[in-house]
Amino acid sequence: MRRREFITLLGGAAAWPVAARAQQAASKLPTIGFIGESTPSGQRQWVAAFVQRLNELGWIEGRNVAIEYRWAEGRNERFAELSAEIVRRKVDVIVTQGTPAVFAAKQETSVIPIVFPIAGNPVANGLVASLARPGGNATGLTNQTADLAGKRLELLREVVPGLRRLAIMANVDNPSVALDVDQVRVAADALTLEVATSKIRRAEDIAPAIEALQGRVDALYVAGDPLVTTNRNRIAILSVAARLPSIYGNRENIEAGGLMSYGPNLSDLHRRAADYVDKILRGAKPADLPVEQPTKFDLAINLITATALGLTIPPALLARADEVIE
């Protein structure tokens, strides 16, 4: 072998491990484990808001950050399995929504930071020590604010003349939903409404639950939950068929055909969750990042559904709505 060829070969061999190490390091991007409560289509708007904000903060998926997605499909029992899987992937931060999902993630890890874009009353449910000082490895945003239940019932009374009997449809296995139901009952008592709770735990419970309410109540309050998010089209269709005016906590249900919603803008909460992820990826600790409350609320009304139910929406209420579907 000629001396020049030998030197070239030797130089290439020496350079190979350096190149390999550089490629390997590049492949180890900071990784976000995103555990969705519903399905990709069910949470499309929330994920889009989250990713867009990450981009604005300089985190581009596939370039300098990776996102591992998992979907519970409205089944709370899947959170433990998905959390264990994400933890095994050794992600740098976990993003997940709702009390059952955050509980499952916290049970799997006390080290990996957890950011929740949505959590109902995280202090009362034991997710954090306090809003100002979360402690532990979880922080994020709560969608629970004072008197939301009362405001929703007042809206129902504006739309449903003579409202006297109210049904609450709720997944009672969800701790945050149980708190919501308690608040609805307190608000209903103040308005002298009769209240019945329609309990659901799985998708198969929805149709018989709504059928059993037909003719027995004047309106339906649907408590937000992964099960509801995943099955919102079914709930909306069945509610209209049963002649039940319904109110929800977020606008996505109104796009699916529900009558009316009032509550925090969940896309905005996911957008703000990206700020938490950005801070954590840059070295901040979840225990030092206070839990924040909603700042943007939406009133959405579906006029097509109102017409199908034979209801007239007062002009003053329409003027207050952030979104009207017609």
User: What is the DSSP secondary-structure string of 253-288?
Assistant: HHHTT-SEEEEE-HHHHHHHHHHHHHHHHTT--GGG
pLDDT of residue 22: 37
Least confident of 103-112, 168-177, 263-272: 168-177
Q: The domain containing residue 200 runs over which residues? A: 148-264+298-325
Same structural domain, 139 and 247: no
Same structural domain, 106 and 172: no
> How many CB atoms are closer than 10 A to CB 27?
8
Same structural domain, 304 and 205: yes
Specify if 3 maps to a domain.
Answer: no
pLDDT of residue 172: 84
Q: The domain spanning residue 191 has which CATH number?
A: 3.40.50.2300
Same structural domain, 253 and 271: no
pLDDT at 13 over 80: no
Specify if 65 maps to a domain.
Answer: yes
Same structural domain, 158 and 180: yes
Residue 256 vs residue 146, higher pLDDT: 256
Specify if 6 maps to a domain.
Answer: no
Residue 36 vs residue 146, higher pLDDT: 36
Same structural domain, 213 and 314: yes
Same structural domain, 114 and 182: no
pLDDT of residue 161: 86
Least confident of 10-24, 52-66, 127-141, 246-260: 10-24
Overall domain count for the chain: 2
pLDDT at 146 over 70: no
pLDDT of residue 192: 95
Helix (H/G/I), strand (E/B), else coil: 173: coil
Least confident of 47-56, 144-153, 277-286: 144-153
Q: Is the dihedral of CA 111, 113, 119, 121 positive or negative?
A: positive
Q: Which positions ≥6 away from 61 have C-beta within 8 Å?
A: 51, 54, 67
157: left (phi over 0), alpha (psi -120 to 50) or beta: alpha
- 213 secondary structure, DSSP code: H
Same structural domain, 201 and 291: no
Identify each DSSP E strand in the chain by its residue range. 31-36, 66-71, 93-96, 114-116, 138-140, 165-171, 194-200, 219-222, 246-248, 260-264, 297-302, 323-325
Same structural domain, 194 and 243: yes
Same structural domain, 316 and 292: no
Specify if 7 maps to a domain.
Answer: no
Specify if 157 maps to a domain.
Answer: yes
The pLDDT confidence band at residue 147, using thresholds 50, 70 and 90, is confident
pLDDT of residue 27: 55
Closest CA to 192 of 164, 151, 228, 153: 164
Distance CA 101, CA 83 (A): 8
Q: Which positions ≥6 away from 115 have C-beta within 8 Å?
A: 93, 94, 95, 138, 139, 140, 273, 276, 277, 280, 286
Specify if 18 maps to a domain.
Answer: no
Same structural domain, 282 and 311: no
Specify if 9 maps to a domain.
Answer: no
Q: How far is CA 283 from the centre of its chain?
A: 25
Specify if 13 maps to a domain.
Answer: no
pLDDT of residue 144: 75
Q: Mean pLDDT throughout 60-88? A: 96
Same structural domain, 123 and 159: no
Mean pLDDT across the chain, nearest whole number?
90
Which tokens go with 135?
């402690």
Q: Mean pLDDT throughout 33-46? A: 94
Q: Decide: 236 and 246 in contact? Cβ < 8 Å.
A: yes
pLDDT tens-place string over residues 226-252:
899 999 999 999 999 999 999 999 999
> How many CB atoms are closer than 10 A to CB 12?
10
Distance CA 144, CA 124 (A): 11
